[in-house]
Structure 1
Amino acid sequence: MKALFSAAAALIGLVILTIVALLGVLLIDADAEATQATDGGGGLRGVPEEFRPWLFKAVAACGEPELTPALMASQLYHEAGFKTDPKSATSDMAAKGPAQFIDATWATYGRDDDGNGRNTPWDIGDAVMAQGRYMCSMLKTAKSSGFGGDPRALALAGYNAGWGAVERFRGVPPIWFARRPGRAEGETYAYVKAIMADISKFEGPSQLQVSGHGNGADALRRASTRLGTPYSWGGGTPNGPSTGFCDGTNGYLGGRCSASVTAGFDCSSLVQYAYWPSTHLPRVAAAQYGATSDRPVSRDALQPGDLLFWSHGGSGSIYHVAIYAGDGNVLHAPRTGRVVEVQPITAAMPAGDYYGATRP
C-alpha cells in the first residue's frame, strides 16, 4: 500500500511540475508577443557608441533572423548595464565583462575579434562577438528542439542557466527554479522576461520612412514596423507575430519544421496585419485578391499600400502577396528562412508569375 501511495504521489508531483513549467513557458511567450520589435531591430538607440558596430557585426555573422541588434542590446543592458570595468562587471559567480562570461563558456566562444592581440571578455568587441556566437548557437538549438514558446526566450534562458535547464522543463524554467543551490528562485525567469520586455527600448527608427496618410500609406507604415520579423508559414495574426505550422510542404527549413518554433508572419498575414483594423482583409493571398479585385491598379499607377499578387496561373493559384512601398519596391514576407523586408518588385518573385495589383 505504501508503494502505491508513493507511486501516486510521484505521479502527481510530475504532473504539477509539468503544468508549472508549461505555465512559465506560456507566460514568457505571451510577453514576447506583446513586446515584439517595432522595426525588427534594424536600428538602435540608447546604446553606447562603442558597442554599436559590434552589435551589427555580431548579428550579421549569425544569420539567424531572431537575433537582432536590439535583442542583444537589451541582453547587454540586463547583464552588466554596458559596463566594462572589473569592479562593476564581475558577478558573484565570477562572470566577467559586459556580456558576463564565465571562464568555461568563454573558452568555447571567446576570440580576439577586435584584433588587438588579446582574447578577453573585457574587450567590447571580443565580448559582443562572443555573445552573438553563444546566442546564435542557443537560437539554433532552440529552433531545432521542438519545445514550445518563442525561440528567443528559450535561447536567453539557455544563455543564463545553461541549455540543460531548458531541456529539463522543455521551455523557459518556471518562476520557482533556482540556477544553483542557494541562488534566488526565479532568476532565469525574470532575466528572460525583462530582456524580452525591453527590446523595444533599444530599437532605432524604422528602416522605411513612409510619408502621407490615408488607408494605403497607413497600412504600409504599420507593416514597416515589422521589418526584420521572421517569416513563419501560417504564423501571424491581426495583433502581431505568432508561431505557424508545417503542412507537409511549407514551413520547413533544413529538413525541420521551422514554422512551429518561429514567431513571425507569412505574406498574407503581414498584409492582413497592415490593414487591420480599418480594413478587415481575409487571411490568405488568394482570398485577399478576391476581396479587392474590383479595384485593380495598373503597374504604372501603383501607390504605397497597393497589393501586388503572384500566381502559378489564374486567380485560384495566387501564392504570394506584397505591399507596394514606392520607388519600384515592395515590402513583404518572402519565404521560410527570410524576414520581412523591402525588395524591388522585379526581385521579389519570378517576373513571369506577376498577376496584378489591387487597391484595398
Structure 2
Amino acid sequence: MNALVKAAMALVALFVAAILALVVGVIAVDKAGAVQLSDGGGGLTGVPAEFRPWILKASAACSHRELSPALLAAQIKQESGFRTDLDSPVGAQGPAQFMPSTWATWGRDVDGNGSASPRDIGDAVMAQGRFMCSLLGQAKSSGIPGDVRALALAGYNAGWGAVTGARPPGIPHIAETENYVRIILSSMAKFEGPGLLQVSGSGSGPDAVRRAITRVGTPYAWGGGGPSGPSTGFCDGTNGYLNGSCSASTTVGFDCSSLVLYAYWPSIKLPRTAAEQYGATSNHAVSRSDLQPGDLLFWAHGSSIYHVAMYAGDGKVVAAPRTGRNVEISPLTSAMPERDYYGATRP
C-alpha cells in the first residue's frame, strides 16, 4: 500500500511539474509576442483596414456614445458586407446602402477626392455616422420606450416616419426591419475590440496624439501621406517594396514621418522626414523618464535617423511602423529595436 501511495505521489509530482512548465512557457511566449496591441485599440476589430479609420472617426464625431464603432461596423456588414460596388434592386448604393434621395441630404466629399459618392468608403461611412447620430438624437428626444440604438437602426432601414407611425410607436412590424435590427445588435460583439487608449491633457501634444489615433489601421505607404491625410507613396529603389513589388505606389496611407506631420498640422508645421523633424525639434530634448503625450521618439542606425513615432502615454507609442503594416499603438519598449533608440524631443 505504501509503495502504491509513493508511486501515485510521484506521478502527481511529475504532472504538476509538467503543468508548471507549460504555464511558464505560455507566459514566456505571451511576453515575447506582446509587441503591439491586438488591434491597435479603438474598441474595434474584424473590419477591413480601409474601413477602420473612417468607422472610428464617424463614431468619435457623434456626441451620442451609443454610436460605437462596433455598431457602425455591424451595420455596414449587414448593409453590404463591406462591399463598395453593391447596388440593391431598389437603387441603394455603396457600403452603407444609401438611396439617392437620402444621400442628397447626408452625403459629403470628406475624403477630398473631388466628389461626394456613396461608393467612396470615407464619404459613405461618415454620412452613415451623421445619419445614425441624428436618428439617435431623435430616438432620445421622442420619448419612445426601448433601446435607442434599435430605434435608430429601424429609422435607418425603414425611415423615421415608420418608427413614429408604428402602433405603438417603436420598431415597425416589418419583417425586414425587425430582422435588420436584431441581426445588427446581436452581431456587434464580434466587432468589439480593445478600448482606445485614453489620452489625458490638453495642448498641441495630446491633441496631436488624439488626431493620430483616429488613423489607427491605415496602411503604411513609403512616401505617402501629408497634412491633409493619407495618399499613395512611391518606391526609391530600397524602400516601399513588399514581396518584390512596389507596394507604396498602390497603397493609400502614411509613412512614419507623414503621420507625425499630419497629427501636428496645422498647429505646428513640422518638416516632412524623420531626420528633418529631429533637426527641427532637437533644441528641446526630453529624457525618456519625462515623456509626455505628443513627444517625438526617434530611432537611428548610428547617427542616421530612420524612424519617428509619437509618445501616446502609458508606455505606448502611435506610429506607422513599416511597409506591410498599419498605423498602430504599441509598447515603446518593442516599437523598434531598443538598441536603435536615439532620443526624444518635444515640438
Q: Shorter-chain TM-score: what band?
A: 0.5 to 0.7
Residue of 290, 309, 329 corresponding to 1:301: 290
Highest CA radius of gyration, 1 or 2? 2
Q: What is the aligned counterpart of 1:344 among 323, 326, 331?
A: 331
On the 8 A contact 2:226/2:258 being kept in 1, the answer is yes
The answer to whether the 8 A contact 1:40-1:226 is kept is: no
Distance 1:278 1:329 in 2: 23
Tell me whether 68-77 or 338-347 shows the greater mean CA deviation. 68-77
* Matched residue, 1:236: 225
Query: Which residue, out of 318, 343, 347, partners 1:356?
Result: 343
Quote the residue 2:119 is aligned against.
192
Say whether 1:65 aligns with 2:49.
yes
Matches of residues 1-360 of structure 1 in structure 2 within 5 Å?
42-43=42-43, 56-57=45-46, 59=47, 65-66=49-50, 68=52, 70=55, 82=78, 99=80, 131=81, 156-157=84-85, 191-193=118-120, 195-200=121-126, 201-202=128-129, 207-314=196-303, 317-360=304-347
Normalising by structure 2, report the TM-score.
Answer: 0.52
Q: Judging changes above 3 Å, is the alpha-carbon distance between structure 1 residues 285 and 304 closer, same or farther for their aligned structure 2 residues?
A: same
The structure-2 alpha-carbon separation of the partners of 1:73 and 1:196, relative to structure 1 and needing over 3 Å to count, comes to: farther
Which AA in structure 2 matches 1:192?
A: R
User: Unaligned regions of 5+ residues in structure 1, if any?
Assistant: 1-38, 45-55, 83-97, 100-130, 136-155, 162-188
CA 1:208–1:335: 2 relative to 1, 3 Å: same
Shift of 1:231: 0.8
Rounded to whole Å, the distance in 2 between the matches of 1:325 and 1:319 is 20
Retained in 1: the 8 A contact 2:222–2:240? yes
CA offset digits 1:266-296 (Å, max 9, x no partner): 0000111111111111100001000011100
Contact kept, 8 Å, 2:260 with 2:310, in 1: the verdict is yes
| 1:124-150 deviation digits (Å, cap 9, x = unpaired) | xxxxxxx47xx6xxxxxxxxxxxxxxx
Deviation at 1:357, TM superposition (A): 0.4
| Contact in 2 for aligned 1:267/1:285 (Cα 8 Å) | yes
Distance (whole Å) between structure 1 residues aligned to residue 87 and residue 294 of structure 2 = 42
Partner Cα distance (2:290, 2:73) in 1: 45
CA–CA distance in structure 2, aligned partners of residues 295 and 70 of structure 1 = 36
User: Per-residue deviation at 1:190?
Assistant: 5.3
What is the distance in 1 between the residues matched to 2:282 and 2:242? 33
CA contact (8 A) 2:224 2:252 kept: yes
**What is the CA–CA distance in structure 1 between the aligned matches of 2:122 and 2:282, rounded to whole Å?**
40
TM-score by length of 1: 0.50
Q: Is the 8 A contact 2:40 2:328 kept in 1?
A: no
Cα distance, 1:228 vs. partner? 1.3
SS at match of 1:192: coil
CA contact (8 A) 1:43 1:70 kept: no
Q: CA deviation at 1:40?
A: 9.5
Aligned partners of 2:50, 2:201: CA distance in 1, in Å? Answer: 31
Offset at residue 73 of structure 1 (A): 8.3
Aligned to 2:161: none
- CA deviation map 1:5-61 (0-9, x unaligned): xxxxxxxxxxxxxxxxxxxxxxxxxxxxxxxxxx999546xxxxxxxxxxx44x3xx
RMSD over equivalenced CA pairs, Å: 3.4
Deviation at 1:74, TM superposition (A): 7.4
> 1:299/1:254 Cα in 2 relative to 1: closer, same or farther (>3 Å)?
same
Query: Unpaired segments of 5 or more residues in structure 2?
Result: 1-38, 57-69, 89-115, 131-191
